[in-house]
Structure 1
């Protein structure tokens, strides 16, 4: 960060929009602090104040239940930059509420203490402790890339069309490439899409488990907990669920980038082949028949 500040002040470019004093040496001394004083305004407007460094409350007064400003200029703002900065300042002060006592900058989440990095860090740590985070169970009977995809899918961090459009990425139509009925979301790809439902139905029959209702990717990753399998077979079924997620995502990419039309039967065949290959070679002595 110090290098960035130093680069700003040791260049011939115009940095008037940044609150700085180029005449002061050093990377940090010339940074003007945005606290409760009048440095909230721009540099051009700051130079016009008769009394510099005053607090906001000194320039805002209540008259007939209306907040009025008394700036005490050396001269009235008249340049384009000065007028623009004054408009911006008045916009900032529009919703100001005057209270008795000293004005100071305080953190919204930290009560009765000035803002500091340490206090903010403490609040973040407390929030992490108070709100339990779901911890997905990883499975070493499938490649790491498969577990990673399942983890990202559960967190809704896959580059589906709706999330890409939210980031202003030009993706064209947001409709699901498999069914074309609804917009593509993470849950739609893996749970509610017609292709996904046919695949999960076939996988349930193949693994001899009752088809459970799932409303999210997390529900799919937790299906193994509701089976009556022994521990090792439950782990194998968990691996099959992860492989199914992998194959559905792979098929989705083939449809989006390759324009292919793939049937549910071909997806199920690939799930069976990859599940048998990976679990057979990564488990020790597990009978898959």
Structure 2
């Protein structure tokens, strides 16, 4: 029980209301001699942890339609990260910069000049990208690479009826090709270097063989076999 000892008589109506509210709050409060401590109510142990906080944050988040990119182990992390950011639409294409209120003279694709430079256009709809994918399809001896989005492009290797070795190779080759298209685009925009499609494909072959023969579990691939894509 709380015994109140007032120095003055309460006559202010607002003060009286506050006191009544305070009394109602303290009515069911039990005071003990135990030491005060903090408790984390969302967890049964009453102890705070980062895991418990993460579970609380994610409790009402719908992740049923979340896309998880398949990383390729035999290509460098910088290429994987580039494709991850590309799929999220985070690389600075002209349309992305425009959406971030960056002033641009023209958001048109610098490689073909036919449409606005979005992620899907640059890596799929652009004439340069289309010719690159056609050349890679012929080189890898797979059906013509056709996709509507970057997400579709990154999943093409799963649909191939080929060996696991060839699937793994094609997955990395597509990622390297996207990375080289982006590099060629930047060299053209910032250094005024002309875009040569045969050079893009040659760099994909060279880098692909170097990384595949040194970083993958298949280290017996020769340059000649890689260029003709046999024994895959």
> Is TM more than 0.5 here?
yes
- Structure 2: distance between partners of 1:214 and 1:233: 20
**5+ unaligned residues in a row in structure 2: which ranges?**
1-13, 15-54, 226-232
1:264 corresponding residue in structure 2: 197
Question: Does the aligned pair in 1 maintain the 2:112–2:126 contact within 8 Å?
Answer: yes
- Report 1:127-206 matches (<5 A): 127-129=61-63, 131-206=64-139
How much has 1:146 moved relative to structure 2? Answer: 0.3
Query: 1:190-232: per-residue Cα shift (whole Å, max 9, x none)?
Result: 0000000000000000000011420011111111111122112
How much has 1:287 moved relative to structure 2? Answer: 4.4
- Structure 1: distance between partners of 2:220 and 2:129: 28
Higher relative contact order (CA 8 A, sep 6+): 2
Question: For the aligned residues, what is the CA RMSD?
Answer: 1.8
2:7 corresponding residue in structure 1: none
> Is the aligned partner of 1:126 residue 2:60?
yes
- Structure 1: distance between partners of 2:105 and 2:213: 42
Question: Does the aligned pair in 1 maintain the 2:134–2:145 contact within 8 Å?
Answer: no
Rate the CA distance shift 1:223–1:287 in 2: closer, same or farther, 3 A: farther
Rate the CA distance shift 1:125–1:238 in 2: closer, same or farther, 3 A: same
**5+ unaligned residues in a row in structure 1: which ranges?**
1-50, 52-120
Q: How many residues align?
A: 169
Superposed structure 1 runs of 4+ greater than 6 Å apart: none
- Structure 2: distance between partners of 1:192 and 1:285: 33
Query: 1:162-191: per-residue Cα shift (whole Å, max 9, x none)?
Result: 111111112321111100111101011100
- Structure 2: distance between partners of 1:158 and 1:191: 15
- Structure 2: distance between partners of 1:210 and 1:285: 23
- Report 1:8-157 matches (<5 A): 125-129=59-63, 131-157=64-90
- Structure 1: distance between partners of 2:134 and 2:218: 28
Greater Cα shift, 172-181 or 258-267: 258-267
- Structure 1: distance between partners of 2:57 and 2:198: 51
Match for residue 215 of structure 1 among 138, 145, 148: 148
Query: 1:225-254: per-residue Cα shift (whole Å, max 9, x none)?
Result: 111221122111101011001101101111
Higher share in helix: 2
